[in-house]
Amino acid sequence: MKDSDVTKKYSRIYQEEINKIESGLSTILKNKEPKSLYRPCSYILNGGGKRIRPFLVLTSAKAVGGKFSQVFNAALAMEILHNFTLVHDDIMDNSDKRRGRLTLHKKYDLSTAVLAGDSLVALAYETLIKDCRLNTNHIISTFTKGVTEVCEGQSLDKEFELRRTVTIDEYKTMIYKKTAALIETCCSIGAQIAGASPKQIAAAQGYGRYLGMAFQIQDDLLDLVAEENKFGKVVGSDLMEGKKNYLFLRAVECAQGKDKDALLKIIINKGAAKEEIPMYKNLYERLGVIGDAEQEIIKYTKLAIKKLASLPNKDGRNLMNWLANILINRNK
């Protein structure tokens, strides 16, 4: 097959599987009562998204010789858990919009959002357990560790907001916990349920971990360099909120004199003005920070792909390779 045919094939498989996931998410709460709890849960579950996490559960199972159908519920569970984190994070970040719609606590109210998030956690466990047969203890422990990490990561993120200085290493620990750990969990659980060996599980997990790191740093990059009409978010919003993302911390590390003062002003003022964004973008370019971020993304993506070598199934491996390349070239 030609390269373009291969890409078409994987793209089609992704779309087919995501359609099944969408359909699963839209029916999972049907007929559940009370509606005051489950309507808000459905609101967030059916709000779209790339559905990368469930796809990683499926492909990890395939890459170790399993079948998509073995881990369909586990895939749903990971997406449900991800949506729980979105609902509670939006409360903590006081966000008004998510994927172009009102956040859950804005659409309903704070109590409803707290409670909907809580019940999504329970729903995630309930859904995951359906796919657990032999090694339930290990699977549940892995999943639970993912929940813990994501809480710790969010806690560090909030802590960093209040701090003057954060090192790049501290930042990486935070994004590992907040973003990469759940992606790692997806790959680990997919492999575990499909009966992988410890070595294969570790490889799938490593792929997820590095992919997650690349994914988050690219999120940081896209915040500044994306084309606004494709991105769906305001470009430069991290700067406006004074978020200590990779670009910012790397810029602080590299800058001197007046450049450094300009960056520290963002911390003091808890954000930059919209009209200052082009100036800061220019500064970042001058400091080589955008190139550094691109290098980091490429580095982590390569590390992720390298981990695939020890997985036995070619189709699964290729799908994971394809996904890593798609993500690196995404514009939102």
20 interacts with its own copies by CB under 8 A: no
Asked if 131 and 76 count as a contact pair (C-beta separation under 8 A), the reply is no
**Residue whose CB is less far from its own copies, 140 or 202:** 140
Collapsing DSSP states into helix, strand and coil, what is residue 235?
A: coil
The DSSP bridge partners found for residue 102 are 97
How far apart (Å, rounded) are the C-alpha atoms in residues 244 and 158?
A: 11
The DSSP bridge partners found for residue 97 are 102
- Which contiguous run of DSSP H or E holds residue 85? helix 72-92
107 interacts with its own copies by CB under 8 A: no
148 interacts with its own copies by CB under 8 A: yes
111 interacts with its own copies by CB under 8 A: yes
92 interacts with its own copies by CB under 8 A: yes
How far apart (Å, rounded) are the C-alpha atoms in residues 22 and 287?
A: 43
- Least Å distance between CB 155 and its own copies? 4
Candidate segments 3-11, 104-112, 184-192, 207-215, binder of its own copies by CB under 8 A: 104-112
Out of 6, 110, 279, 298, name the contact with its own copies by CB under 8 A. 110
Candidate segments 21-29, 86-94, 220-228, 303-311, binder of its own copies by CB under 8 A: 86-94
For its own copies (CB under 8 A), the number of binding residues is 37
How far apart (Å, rounded) are the C-alpha atoms in residues 116 and 180?
A: 24
Candidate segments 17-25, 148-156, 221-229, 315-323, binder of its own copies by CB under 8 A: 148-156
Candidate segments 29-37, 227-235, 242-250, 267-275, binder of its own copies by CB under 8 A: 29-37
C-alpha dist (Å) from residue 157 to 40, 165, 180, 209: 26, 13, 14, 18
- Least Å distance between CB 288 and its own copies? 31
CA dihedral sign, ordered 88, 92, 96, 97: negative
26 interacts with its own copies by CB under 8 A: no
Out of 42, 59, 70, 119, name the contact with its own copies by CB under 8 A. 119
- Which contiguous run of DSSP H or E holds residue 223? helix 198-225
For 240-257, the DSSP string reads HHT---HHHHHHHHH--H
Site string for its own copies, 152-171 (x = CB under 8 A): x-xxx-xx------------
270 interacts with its own copies by CB under 8 A: no
Asked if 104 and 41 count as a contact pair (C-beta separation under 8 A), the reply is no
Out of 23, 27, 36, 165, name the contact with its own copies by CB under 8 A. 36
Out of 140, 262, 264, 326, name the contact with its own copies by CB under 8 A. 140
Residues 230-259 close enough to bind its own copies by CB under 8 A: none
122 interacts with its own copies by CB under 8 A: yes
- Tokens encoding 145: 């560790």
Give the orientation angle of helix 277-287 with respect to helix 257-268, to 10 degrees.
130
How far apart (Å, rounded) are the C-alpha atoms in residues 60 and 63?
A: 5
Q: Which residues bind its own copies (CB under 8 A)?
A: 33-34, 36-37, 88, 91-92, 110-112, 114-115, 117-119, 121-123, 125-126, 129, 132, 136-137, 140-141, 144-145, 147-148, 151-152, 154-156, 158-159
